């Protein structure tokens, strides 16, 4: 599964979204769902004081360590899930999540933890696939999510990303949405993406 997830998340179609949100990270950064470190090439090294990479998948750390060594960043890996972040309240300038909220079992708890650790004036950067706007596509997303979860590491196709953020106490300051280029025509249920910037209220 780690190798498969690494290949899927490394698809070139996702690069444009990583290039948009990851360079906005600054200061003390917590990346939730660090995985194998696919976001590392997109950080602005001169703007990041320290990076904590949180992920329960310890089996992925081998791949992550190789990328860390090439990144030029000061990185510390934390082997746990987003529902219980072992960091002090108001201690983080930037939380980053990319293609992670879909698979966290208790995503509401995890977003609450992210909100807790962000400093006043800090930000949450996100790029996540999720619920599409069209009812017909939504129907397929709801039907496909149970079998998809079983084969894709718990990934949900039907989570409403902006709604989850707002209900967890975030204000969305910037939101862009759309289908992955080249995928809207053949697999819409997997291809609707939301990306942007949010701040705790």
pLDDT of residue 155: 92
Question: Cα separation of 150 and 131, whole Å?
Answer: 18
pLDDT of residue 187: 84
pLDDT of residue 185: 66
The tens-digit pLDDT sequence of the chain (201 residues) is 455 556 566 677 788 999 999 999 999 999 999 999 999 999 999 999 999 999 998 777 788 899 999 999 999 999 999 999 999 999 999 999 999 999 999 999 999 999 999 999 999 999 999 999 999 999 999 999 999 999 888 999 999 999 999 999 999 999 999 999 877 666 899 999 999 999 999
Q: How far is CA 19 from the centre of its chain?
A: 13
pLDDT of residue 33: 94
Half-sphere exposure of residue 37, counting CA atoms within 13 Å on the CB side?
A: 25
pLDDT of residue 62: 81
pLDDT of residue 2: 52
pLDDT of residue 12: 73
What is the layout of strands, in order, in the sheet containing 27-32? Answer: 75-78, 48-54, 27-32, 92-98, 118-129, 192-200, 170-179
pLDDT of residue 3: 55
Residue pair 13/183 in contact by the 8 Å Cβ criterion? yes
Q: What 3-state class would DSSP assign to 74?
A: coil
pLDDT of residue 5: 59
């Amino acid at each position: 599964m780690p190798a498969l997830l690494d290949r899927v998340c490394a698809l070139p179609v996702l690069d444009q979204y990583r290039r948009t949100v990851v360079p906005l990270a600054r200061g003390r950064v917590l990346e939730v769902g660090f995985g194998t470190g696919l976001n590392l090439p997109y950080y602005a090294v001169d703007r990041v004081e320290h990076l904590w990479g949180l992920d329960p998948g310890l089996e992925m750390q081998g791949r992550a360590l190789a990328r860390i060594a090439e990144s030029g960043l000061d990185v510390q890996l934390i082997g746990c899930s987003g529902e219980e972040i072992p960091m002090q309240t108001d201690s983080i300038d930037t939380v980053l999540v990319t293609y992670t909220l879909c698979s966290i079992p208790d995503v509401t708890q995890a977003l609450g933890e992210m909100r807790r650790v962000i400093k006043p004036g800090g930000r949450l950067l996100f790029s996540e696939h999720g619920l599409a706007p069209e009812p017909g596509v939504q129907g397929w997303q709801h039907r496909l999510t149970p079998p998809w979860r079983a084969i894709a590491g718990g990934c949900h196709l039907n989570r409403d990303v902006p709604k989850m953020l707002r209900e967890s106490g975030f204000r969305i300051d910037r939101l862009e949405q759309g289908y992955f280029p080249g995928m809207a025509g053949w697999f819409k249920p997997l291809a609707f993406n939301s990306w942007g910037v949010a701040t705790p209220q």
